[in-house]
Chains A and B, each alone.
Chain A
Amino acid sequence: MSMSILILQQAVGKNCPNRPDDVKSIHKCLMDIGKIPCYVCTGAFDNTILQGIIEVQRHFMLTPDGVISVGGRTQGFLANWKNKPISPGVQLPGRLREAWDWVDPLLPEGSYCSSGYRSADEQRRILHNFFLNTYRIQIIAKYGQQQYDAVKANLLANESKVLEMVRGVGQAIAAPGSSMHQKGKAVDIGGPSAIDNKQVEVVKLVAKAHLDLLSGKVLKERNGCVHFEIR
């Protein structure tokens, strides 16, 4: 994890001018973010640095070119490279973690991972709370006390009815076990709404570079999150 000032006079990379001061800056940056091992750089461009640049570009390029242009995308991401926090309790198993790791360091400052895998039981807890507390009065008003009590008698056995009644008073909710979060295929990114568009842009870029992992579905949700899904 790092945050460096990265000023380049000319491009660095394969078949580039590779001014020694520029090469040293890139070398330091790549070491700081752990893309290359630590060693002393003489200012000469070498294969280790090239591989480091390619490793950075693999986050967002389907075919890395190994070139850092002045003011280009690679320089921009490198200059702001930073691992973002993951909120307590967020679960990112397997490929979800892999997807987050590709996206994470490119996200704008202020971003964090706010949700990943959610169990069906967690979803069920919220659904039951909607039924028993939040919307109890409305459900009774619409469906009647008798029907409410009958469903309430066994919430698990009557789950489809619980869902129908909660939705019937205007609350959108997924059935327990059915949402992409519960299938371990969705991640939510939190942060101020001012950076939502930048987050969407980053995820779309990463999705194009990892077609086999990210599905390309990216949503700016009204709960303050940017939601993306994996295949």
Chain B
Amino acid sequence: MRSFRNSLIRRLPTLAGALALGIGVASTALTGEPRPSAGPVPYFPLAVGNYWTYRCSVDGEHQFTKTVRLVSASARDNVQYFRAELRIKKDKPLVYYLFTDVEGHVFSVPNPSRDGSEPLITAAPKAGEHVGTWTVAGGERIDTPALKQVDAVRIENFDRDDPQITAERRMEWRGRYYARDVGLLVEADGLGGECVLTQYHVRTR
């Protein structure tokens, strides 16, 4: 799954000040402190029992299979935190939590609190919109073993479609594809690593 990497902007005092003044953030951008509550999240359906299995490979060579499963949910400060377990083989799982804010944006966090949360996807991602330090690149139709020709949105750490990007910089590219009513379809990177959805089960709450 994804890192809990920070949202730099979240820590900016200016934004904190703006929030304190009730100015808030634009409803389409996901850069601010998450606010409580949640509605249905079409691009990342959260419900206990949902799971997603991925085949992970590098340049087509299989490395491992991983499964992310939402195993339980708990409420705190009007926020419902879903406990996610990422399992590879029979290893001890990596545990983290997913929650949504009032606008339906989804966050990942190491513990069931809002401290150190990382935004994953907005409720209705649009090209050019920021998701933490990443950007929504736009939509495209992709194939995975689980789903054929599915409309997905790509979120990436920088624009990869520029021939002038140096080879060195391109290696640092990372991206994620999400599909409506499915969740995370694909994770990919500039070194040819990718995790592709092979199986999933989702239901909305």
Chain B contacts of A193 at CB under 8 A?
140
Cβ–Cβ contact B58 & A168, under 8 A: no
| B77 close to chain A: CB less than 8 A | no
Shortest C-beta distance, A118 to chain B (Å), equals 7
Contact among B140, B166, B172 for A126, CB-based, below 8 A? B172
Cβ–Cβ contact A223 & B190, under 8 A: yes
Residue of A nearest to B188 (CB): A222
Partner-contacting stretch, out of A26-34, A46-54, A60-68, A169-177: A169-177
| A116 close to chain B: CB less than 8 A | yes
Chain A contacts of B168 at CB under 8 A?
89, 122
Residue of B nearest to A175 (CB): B58
Chain B contacts of A188 at CB under 8 A?
192
Residue of A nearest to B94 (CB): A142
Q: In the complex, how many residues of chain A place their beta carbon closer than 8 angstroms to a beta carbon of chain B?
A: 48
Contact among B58, B142, B163, B177 for A87, CB-based, below 8 A? B163
Given contacts A138-B4, A174-B58, A192-B161, contact A118 B171 (CB under 8 A): yes
Q: Mark A99-126, 1 if CB is under 8 A from B, else 0.
A: 0000000000000101110100011001
Shortest C-beta distance, A225 to chain B (Å), equals 8
Contact among A90, A136, A137, A221 for B167, CB-based, below 8 A? A90
**Cα distance A180–B168 when bound, in Å?**
16
| B56 close to chain A: CB less than 8 A | yes
Cβ–Cβ contact B4 & A222, under 8 A: no
Shortest C-beta distance, A187 to chain B (Å), equals 11
A192-231, CB < 8 A from B:
192-193, 217, 219, 221-225, 227
Cβ–Cβ contact A173 & B167, under 8 A: no
| A190 close to chain B: CB less than 8 A | yes
Chain A contacts of B175 at CB under 8 A?
222-223
Size category, B interface: 35 or more
| A135 close to chain B: CB less than 8 A | yes
B52-96, CB < 8 A from A:
54, 56-61, 63-64, 66, 86, 88, 91-96
Partner-contacting stretch, out of B20-28, B34-42, B119-127, B193-201: B193-201
Given contacts A89-B166, A114-B163, contact A138 B196 (CB under 8 A): no
Given contacts A87-B164, A168-B91, A169-B94, contact A115 B58 (CB under 8 A): no
Name which of A142, A167, A171, A180 has the most chain B CB atoms within 10 A of its CB: A171
Cβ–Cβ contact B59 & A219, under 8 A: yes
Q: Mark B92-103, 1 if CB is under 8 A from A, else 0.
A: 111110000000
| A10 close to chain B: CB less than 8 A | no
Residue of A nearest to B55 (CB): A172
Given contacts A115-B170, A223-B173, contact A135 B3 (CB under 8 A): yes
Chain A contacts of B95 at CB under 8 A?
141
CB-defined A-B contacts under 8 Å, sample of 23: A85-B163, A88-B166, A89-B166, A114-B163, A122-B171, A126-B172, A133-B5, A137-B116, A138-B4, A142-B93, A169-B94, A170-B54, A172-B58, A173-B58, A179-B59, A186-B59, A188-B192, A190-B160, A219-B60, A222-B194, A223-B175, A223-B194, A225-B192
9 further contact pairs, Cβ within 8 A, besides A126-B172, A174-B192, A223-B160: A87-B170, A89-B166, A114-B163, A115-B171, A118-B167, A142-B92, A172-B58, A222-B142, A222-B188
